[in-house]
Amino acid sequence: MSSPLNRLYLAAIAASLIFGLGPSARSQEGGGSVNRDLIGGALLIFRTPEDPPVGGGRLKGHRVTPKVAKEQNRIIARANAARRAPTPRYEEAEQQYREAARLDPTDARSYAGLGNVYLDQTRYQDAVAHYQHAIELKGDYTDALMPLGYALVRLNRLPEAIEKYKQALKVEPDNPEIRNNLGYLYNHTKRYDDAVAACLEAIRLLGETGEAYKQGFQTRQEVLSHAYKNLGNAYNGLNNFEEAAKALRQATIIEPKSAAAFFNLGLTLYSGRRYSEAILAYKEVIKLRPTLAPARFNLGLAYLAIQDKQAATAEYDALKPLDPQAAEQLRRMIRQ
């Protein structure tokens, strides 16, 4: 597989898959522990935003009468319950949060609650507006800053998302989840050195053999695996395939059932011309996801790189019912 055309073809696939540039003919949900983890790349750690607390959250120094405070807490509790119902009652929740905001417009909780309701419904523009207002009232409100960063990402406003996560980091500097998400965003904005630093700090905070820095704040294995995948992606962006492979191999150890980690490892090893190792990585992907067309295709390319056309043809046969277009491309490469 020495043809420059073939190498460029793989590079195009690698670019779209490593950095999770959205679904394509050769991209689909992966085998990681986070539902939105795409084959070939780690995405943000995203969790359903916390409900506003019943108590606290007002503009610093602002006071209301005990009667107003009690009524507002009761309304926010009702709004939280409506949002968390087995079948969420978003219209009711929205009305209740708005009523709480009417009682005291300086209380950030009401606006954060509205942001949550809109985020749950993928109304990202509305969510951003209300989270931003909550933060204007209470700048250290991390339960608004974190989902605000996510909503900005979904709107492709990545530089703004970076700034919000950095703001959250000032409040919680030892939060590895924020560090991981910054690593992801730096990768997507081609700030690979910054991404490396953010991911290494996330890994340090989690402890490679210890417990999560903030016990109970997140699932340690989930964040650690994503930090290593994002670290591998950053090193790939710097064309440092040796360090990228080390990071991604660590992700496969942490999550041995993550097809995404093995797939990305295969891409990295191939880019580093370690074709036999890439073959082993893709075989692990196929064990986990036998019908994953991109893995079959890239395994075929790896076999061609070591001049094993018979094995590449077997991958063509397996790929044909999964993705005829990719299979035809592989067939033409085999015949070269």
Q: What's the average model confidence in pLDDT over 176-180?
A: 90
The pLDDT, as a whole number, for residue 32 is 32
What residue spans of 189-271 are helical by DSSP H? 192-206, 220-237, 241-254, 259-271
Chain segment 22-44, per-residue pLDDT in tens: 222 232 233 333 333 444 456 67
Distance from the Cα of residue 61 to its chain's centroid: 37
SS3 195: helix
Q: Return the CATH number of the domain spanning residue range 46-171.
A: 1.25.40.10
Output the CA–CA distances (angstroms, integers) from residue 292 to 39, 138, 210, 297, in the order listed: 9, 46, 34, 9
The pLDDT, as a whole number, for residue 58 is 56
Q: Quick one: CATH architecture of 1-42+222-336?
A: Alpha Horseshoe (1.25)
The pLDDT, as a whole number, for residue 200 is 94
Confirm if 215 and 243 have CB atoms less than 8 A apart: no
The pLDDT, as a whole number, for residue 43 is 67
Chain segment 241-262, per-residue pLDDT in tens: 999 999 999 999 988 988 888 9
Instruction: Give phi and psi for 183, each to the nearest 5.
Output: -60, -45
Lowest-confidence segment of 16-20, 232-236, 242-246, 266-270 by average pLDDT: 16-20
Topology agreement, domain 1-42+222-336 and domain 46-171: yes
Q: What average pLDDT does the chain have?
A: 83
Chain segment 49-74, per-residue pLDDT in tens: 889 988 765 555 566 778 888 898 99
Give the list of residues 6+ apart from residue 93 with CB closer than 8 angstroms, or none: 79, 80, 82, 83, 113, 117
Q: Where are the domains of the chain?
A: 1-42+222-336, 46-171
Check: pTM over 0.95? Answer yes or no. Answer: no
The pLDDT, as a whole number, for residue 259 is 87
Output the CA–CA distances (angstroms, integers) from residue 314 to 54, 259, 274, 297, 331, in the order listed: 61, 21, 21, 11, 11
Q: What's the average model confidence in pLDDT over 273-298?
A: 94
What is the widest separation between alpha-carbon atoms in the chain?
81
